[in-house]
Structure 1
Amino acid sequence: MHKIFSFGFWNSIARLILRNRIIIIILIAVATFLLSTQWKNMRFSYTEANLMPKDHPVNISYDDFLNKFGEEGNLILLGVQDSALFTPEKFKAWNELTRKLTSYPEVDHIISPASLQELKKFEDPKRFEMVPVLPDNEPDSTQLKEFEKKLFTALPFYENLVYSSHSNTIQSAMYLNKELVNTKARKIFVLEELDPLIQEFEEKYDIDVRVSGMPYIRTLNAQNIVDEIGLFILAALLVTSLIFFFFFRSIRATLISMFTVCIGVMWAFGVIGLLHYEITILTALIPPLIIVIGIPNCIFLINKYQQEIKKHGNQAKSLQRVITKVGNATLLTNLTTASGFATFILTDSQLLREFGVVASINIIAIFVLSLLIIPIIYSYLNPPKDRHLRHLTKKWIGGLTAWMENMVRNHRIAIYITSLVLLVASIIGIYTIKISGSILEDMPHNTAFYKDVKFFESEFDGVMPLEILIDTKRPKGVMKLSTLKRMDELESFIQDIPELSKPLSVNRLVKYSKQAYYNGNPKYYQLPSSQERNFIMPYAKSLSSSEGIMQSYVDSTGQYARITTFMKDVGTEKMEEIENDLLPQINKIFPEDRYDVSITGKALLFQKGTNYLVKNLIISLGLAIILIAILMAWMFRSFRMIIISLVPNLLPLLVTAGVMGFLGVPIKPSTILVFSIAFGISVDDTIHFLAKYRQELKANNWKIKRSVYAALKETGVSMFYTSIVLFFGFSVFMISSFGGTVALGGLVSATLLFAMLANLLLLPSLLLSLERSIANKKVLKEPAMKIIETEEDEKEYSITDRKN
């Protein structure tokens, strides 16, 4: 009765679709229109994706820092490595540029050579004041030469802030408004104001200006993601349509498939907008992903339609059989693929949860659209002509199936040995895989802004902020000389770490105060002694409320201080080494009973987030394997079949992991996705093959060999078609300028190719070798769900239907 219900259910669905074509078309059009109205709600992220939950200790520590000092990633750097800047015309132009930039509401203030100030001591009353280094607004050549010399030799306060300690490179430090830095205003300012101004300056004065800093990097990186969405969609449509046309040699079939997946893409954007999710580097992959996953649905449905037309020529009967015979199998394969993505929903990462929700919803949506649109459109068209059906009898297809049968029949030992060698090699490769938590690693290496990042790394020792928050546990505790000396000791230690820049803290101003007290002599740029402090303090009091560095590096109560250093682009391992070096030193310098000191900042946040994300992705992959194993157990009601079905799907994952190890491709958020995506898709082929195999067993009176070869011949071509489409479809991601997306595309493509070969060669070989233990009625019980309908099911249903 169950199989009658199964066939009856899909037969009822087929009738419902074909008898209500106009209504369904109207409903799809209305749904598409309504979802398109949600596109306006799609938001583009203006900050780095938070890879950890908000209540994670690392996030709590970072939020505590932001509450004390505000956004730390608000610095844009403008660098020039050209002595010609210190000529009257170009220096004046640079001054005009910085003055114009300061006028924008997005810019808080700029520290620039053109407007540089030095600390001076005055006697009546006793005070320090910041006065312009260049009193003349339009200095001549002599004044500029003296200024250049003074800057690099007598003003250590500005080292790595305005000039490089490695060369004569100078920079202007532009601090953005902290209230606007994480809003759309930043994007508009960077792309529409700052970039054109810099470009105009470069062209007019023939000076190469380097631009960097986290707000700038984030803006251009986000813009690259936006630009690539359209590129991916067009490339995916082009590649899949060309392959589809190559297989089917039918423009009509190709256009129908492209129309179907285009509707799916529109729905995908609509779902993102409806849920008010941000466009991130992950959600940006979903629209092209829908194209790549949707095309195999079209292949199965159109291929079956053409097979039925070729068999009996009855269009109405063919369309009904497309739905009744392919509907169940296609539903199951889409469910397993969606399950692979849905496991991301169970992780604690908001980034992954959003990706999992949108991907799984739209995979089911593209299945529904395929099942509705393709039969309905074909019902209004003339049946395919003979030339459209020739691909069904191509010689190369027969050659392919013959080769597969020959390998499984005569070379099973070679298949096993090859699989074993690949397994051993993969395990060796897996042990060499590294984890990468670099913010910049995936960014486009061929872009000007990435080259500028490397320029600032070499000249100023990094652009990514690493923050140390010091709680003295008492108001005004920061300015006590004992605290300042402890901070100075830690800063000296930080300065000795090659990957970190010279730190910025309130100590710079205190040291500069001593230098100013001794009439600007640079050899006195150091912390004052207890006795000197008593002399200097009457002068320094005038600075406490007026100087920006005091407000930026000491909170209003004087209890909290920050030390800011900038990091080079280092991987996770090096970052952990730096952290492990810093923490013991911090605990040694700052006794825990008197100080609370924590390390935070975007660089550390991203590194910790990457480790957290990798752990969650491994958990989600494990959940996907368990979920799909349960689904297989429910479908086939056999534990042995679960093991056999998992082997050809897990081996490709291990091979890919081994390849990553040998090629030096690290585990990171983009590459770890490979395994969940590939597993969810490759298991579809296993379901198709095993379902057909079980059907053939019953038809052939449990004769193993005949059933295996029949299943291989029947499903091999469709599996080959879909695998080739998926291979080239995912290869589209390799045109990306983001290293992680390139790796994702290449690795998923390679994994699916391995999975196809494993399902076509290793799986049937295992079935033949283990025939006695698995191919009997006791092991292969009646499945819980009829996956592929047979002619007998249709006849049985027809008899029952007539009786009722």
Structure 2
Amino acid sequence: MKNFWHHLALSILKNRIAYLSVVIALTVFMTFMASKTQISSELPKILPKSDERFQLYESFKKRFGEDGSVMVIGIETDKMFDLAFFQQWQDLVKEIKGIKAIKDVVYAGNIPRVIKNDSVKRFETKPLIAQRAISQAEVDTVKARLDKLPFYKGFIINEAGNVHLMMITFDQKAINDKSRVTAVKEIKALVQKFEEAQKVDLHLSGMPFIRTEMTAQISTELGIFLGLAILVTSLILLVFFRNLKVMLVSLVVVLVGIVSALGIIVLFGFKITIISGLIPPLVVVIGVPNAIFLVNKYLEEYALHGDKEQALKVTIEKIGQTLILSNLTTSIGFGVFAFTGSTFLIEFGIVAAINVMLTYVVSLILIPVMFSYLAPPSSKQTSRLESGRISKILIGIDKWVNYRRVYIYLIIIAIVSVSVYGMSKIKSNGYIVDGLANDNPIYLDLKFVEKNFKGIMPFEVAIDTYEAGRVMSSPELFTKIKRMEKEFAKYPEFTKPVSLVTAAKFIYQAYRGGDPKYFVLPGIDELSKLKDYNSSLSGGKQNLAKGFIDSTKRYTRVSFQIADCGTVRTNELIKELQPKIDTIFNYNAETNELYKKGDKQGYDAEITGNSVIFAWQNEFLQGNLIESTFQAIVLICIIMALLFRSWKMVLISTLPSLIPLLITAGLMGFFDINLKYSTILIFSIAFGISSDGTIYFLTRYKDELLNKNKTAKQAINATILNTGVSMFYTAIVLFIGFFIFTASSFKGTQSLGILVSITLLMAMICNLILLPAFLMTLNKRETKKLL
């Protein structure tokens, strides 16, 4: 292996033009590919395709369309039924309906009312008002008719009557397309114009709006984070090395890494998501430590003998093999996400893992080659390694390691004990808009709608009757749906349901002359009287159940809306309601058992929908990401075992990286930071990066102890004072580099930035204090044996 690194160093320095040309060609190609980068407009696909819950939801969408296709505009006003205001509201509806991607717009004026037409034995639907109002009398008629339709209370108008919703349905083809983004922008412009003219505040929400706005923020933040990462790391490098050339050389490396990250995303056919958008700034933060170790080693070697070429050769040989191991552990920290089965995380894991190693290769080539063309370092640059506050700190650390190891162990035990207690307080919960700050307009508008209408997140029950046409030929199905809706009504989180029963209630109210007290599901005898009117419920232009029965009349749905009440509560609701649904739709009273799936005596009724899938996804992610963290730990331990061939050394090298994770978990418990996909990411990423410091320290210690025949004390002293400088610089870069994510408008990204920063800072402390303390506790003979 030593010959390999020796020959590689000679090859790079001898054929530097060829290597440089390859890097330039790669950069040009990746820049071209990066120009084709696209932001994903779709919801993250987290559940694997093989998951039955995912398959159920996909089947549901194929039959009934996307359930999260409605955007709402809410307004609180007492002027809605004043002629002038009502006319302006109607005009806004008309303008929005004219937007290309919009399928329909429903408001208080055009909601359907059912009218019985005895001459043709049909029930017909007509809007409350068919044209733009021209008199106050017409508006008063709309209000009077609305008051006789109890269903719409709490649905299109709140119970108090002062908050109204406009419901905008997007075309199914546009919901996952760029045209949705364009449409939302046009709606926002019209809303702003209306607000300015009427001096009112409108509240925009609904899944199409939330998705579009969050995607736009991702795109904006990608540019902000990139700029901050480059600016911050450049300033840190300039402060550390006090040399513009070193900063520029390092900057070139990370710029190549950035375009490569974006290029790889395009090469794999991926689009940028809320998580993969973090990769380019992560490349900056993770790529700079490579430059720091290479530059510091070069300066250190040049200070010894003053031979630039020899210094560069030794740098490639020594640091090259150290960095490949450290970058490999970092790559594993990201790469384990590729085994989660989740498309969302697989893409992130693949791109990040590949890019970490690609950045390493670019660093190993570019930095020595570029320094080979630059003038040798000055004595001022090389003397910087042996002076300053950092050196004083490292000398203090060396004293603690040599003479106060008992105190180190006692402090660590105390910290770990407190962290374990804090870890026991961690909660697991996630929200659909969990990533947004409480003062974010998207969050505030959602809470406004939830306050007045309970919620807008889709919660569906998909019903399979097992036989084509059975939906309309089975009166008992209506009774079962009614029973189920009563069960749901016991839970305050749900809005009124919309289903076949709703349509039947409208028809019966119309049949009985429009009296609101008859907005009920009639008995079987009464239903039979309506047999001649059945076409109104299931076919023709006046189909009242459109969107709730599939074309074969085998499947139907019951639609609820739910508040964004968190994944814990949503899963509780699912676990409580699904058994009740099974009992209602699939219970055999004679055998006191449930019918087997497919038995035509029963029905298959299952909970699904956008909010349900989100809860399931969060649950799935937690299990898989915890598993991924353990996979990362095991894989990195295997690398340590191959490097040192001793289980004791694996234990010694793993603890300094595990303890910071415990501290982070403890902080999450104490500061009430929930466990969710964005925060679970922290552990495997941080462990992979933390292990870098362990490898830096141990490989240098091994070289000092075995190759230079020093005592354990001398080897540790030399390692702390020499490698410690680079580790200190690296820790500062990583800490500040990850801390820039706190500038995000997403809470999850903020938490990731804070917690990873703290974890990596603690990892540096453990690697510089605890690790050498462990090594000093061993005698030299045992240490040599382990190494």
Task: Give the alignment's TM-score, normalised by structure 2.
Answer: 0.94
Cα deviation code 1:406-455 (max 9, x no counterpart): 22123222211121122222222222222224221113443322211111
Which of the numbers 294, 304, 317 marks the counterpart of 1:311?
304
Amino acid aligned to 1:748: V
Tell me, what secondary structure is at the counterpart of 2:492? coil
Cα deviation code 1:364-421 (max 9, x no counterpart): 1111111111122222222233443453233312211121012212322221112112
Deviation at 1:222, TM superposition (A): 1.1
Deviation at 1:46, TM superposition (A): 1.8
**Mapped pair 1:601 → 2:609:** yes
Amino acid aligned to 2:435: D
Which of the numbers 403, 408, 430 marks the counterpart of 2:401?
408
Are the structure 2 counterparts of residues 555 and 313 from structure 1 closer, same or farther at C-alpha, using a change threshold of 3 Å?
same
Which of the numbers 746, 758, 774 marks the counterpart of 2:754?
746
Equivalent pair of 1:700/1:706 in contact (CA under 8 Å): no
C-alpha separation in 2, matches of 1:699 and 1:265: 38
Counterpart residue number, 1:188: 182
Counterpart residue number, 1:565: 560
Tell me, what secondary structure is at the counterpart of 1:553? coil
Equivalent pair of 1:632/1:642 in contact (CA under 8 Å): yes
Alignment of 1:291-302 (within 5 A): 291-302=284-295
Alignment of 1:345-494 (within 5 A): 345-479=338-472, 480-494=474-488
Counterpart residue number, 1:783: none
Which of the numbers 506, 509, 527 marks the counterpart of 1:512?
506
Which of the numbers 61, 66, 72 marks the counterpart of 1:66?
61
Counterpart residue number, 2:250: 257
Deviation at 1:244, TM superposition (A): 1.3
The sequence identity of aligned pairs, in percent, is 37
Deviation at 1:232, TM superposition (A): 0.7
Which of the numbers 124, 131, 135 marks the counterpart of 1:129?
124
C-alpha separation in 1, matches of 2:574 and 2:115: 39
Equivalent pair of 1:43/1:278 in contact (CA under 8 Å): yes
Equivalent pair of 1:470/1:596 in contact (CA under 8 Å): yes
Are the structure 2 counterparts of residues 547 and 430 from structure 1 closer, same or farther at C-alpha, using a change threshold of 3 Å?
farther
Amino acid aligned to 1:604: V
C-alpha separation in 2, matches of 1:574 and 1:199: 35
Deviation at 1:610, TM superposition (A): 1.5
Tell me, what secondary structure is at the counterpart of 1:317? helix
Deviation at 1:725, TM superposition (A): 0.8
C-alpha separation in 1, matches of 2:149 and 2:178: 37
**Mapped pair 1:611 → 2:623:** no
Tell me, what secondary structure is at the counterpart of 2:530? helix
Deviation at 1:589, TM superposition (A): 1.4
Tell me, what secondary structure is at the counterpart of 1:84? coil
**Mapped pair 1:759 → 2:752:** no
Tell me, what secondary structure is at the counterpart of 1:478? helix
Amino acid aligned to 2:565: V
Equivalent pair of 2:109/2:128 in contact (CA under 8 Å): no
Alignment of 1:271-350 (within 5 A): 271-350=264-343
Counterpart residue number, 2:598: none
Are the structure 2 counterparts of residues 196 and 358 from structure 1 closer, same or farther at C-alpha, using a change threshold of 3 Å?
same
Are the structure 2 counterparts of residues 166 and 386 from structure 1 closer, same or farther at C-alpha, using a change threshold of 3 Å?
farther
Which of the numbers 13, 20, 23 marks the counterpart of 1:25?
20
Counterpart residue number, 2:646: 638
C-alpha separation in 1, matches of 2:5 and 2:537: 81
Counterpart residue number, 2:517: 523
Amino acid aligned to 1:179: K
- 210-219 vs 434-443, which moves further: 434-443
Cα deviation code 1:170-197 (max 9, x no counterpart): 1121111112211111112112x21111
Counterpart residue number, 2:93: 98
Equivalent pair of 1:122/1:128 in contact (CA under 8 Å): yes
Deviation at 1:236, TM superposition (A): 0.6
C-alpha separation in 2, matches of 1:149 and 1:424: 68
Cα deviation code 1:267-291 (max 9, x no counterpart): 1111111111121112111101110
Tell me, what secondary structure is at the counterpart of 1:99? helix
Deviation at 1:42, TM superposition (A): 3.0
Counterpart residue number, 1:795: none
Counterpart residue number, 2:172: 178
Equivalent pair of 2:109/2:142 in contact (CA under 8 Å): no
Deviation at 1:15, TM superposition (A): 2.3
Counterpart residue number, 1:629: 637
CA RMSD of aligned residues (A): 2.0
Alignment of 1:575-586 (within 5 A): 575-586=570-581
Aligned length: 772
Amino acid aligned to 1:429: G
Tell me, what secondary structure is at the counterpart of 2:280? helix
**Mapped pair 1:717 → 2:717:** no
Task: Give the alignment's TM-score, normalised by structure 1.
Answer: 0.92
**Mapped pair 1:734 → 2:749:** no
Alignment of 1:30-109 (within 5 A): 30-109=25-104
Tell me, what secondary structure is at the counterpart of 1:210? strand
Counterpart residue number, 2:112: 117
Counterpart residue number, 1:496: 490
Equivalent pair of 2:330/2:356 in contact (CA under 8 Å): yes
Are the structure 2 counterparts of residues 13 and 498 from structure 1 closer, same or farther at C-alpha, using a change threshold of 3 Å?
same
Equivalent pair of 1:294/1:367 in contact (CA under 8 Å): yes
Which sections of structure 2, spanning at least 5 residues, go unmatched? 587-593, 596-601
Amino acid aligned to 2:234: S
Cα deviation code 1:759-803 (max 9, x no counterpart): 1111111122233783243x33xxxxxxxxxxxxxxxxxxxxxxx
Counterpart residue number, 1:652: 660
Cα deviation code 1:605-657 (max 9, x no counterpart): 11111121222212222121111111111111222111111111111111111
Cα deviation code 1:293-323 (max 9, x no counterpart): 1101111111122223333333222222222
Which of the numbers 231, 241, 246 marks the counterpart of 2:239?
246
Amino acid aligned to 2:156: V
Which of the numbers 219, 225, 241 marks the counterpart of 1:226?
219
Cα deviation code 1:460-505 (max 9, x no counterpart): 1111101101122334433433211211121122122122222111
Cα deviation code 1:24-53 (max 9, x no counterpart): 222222111112222254332222111111
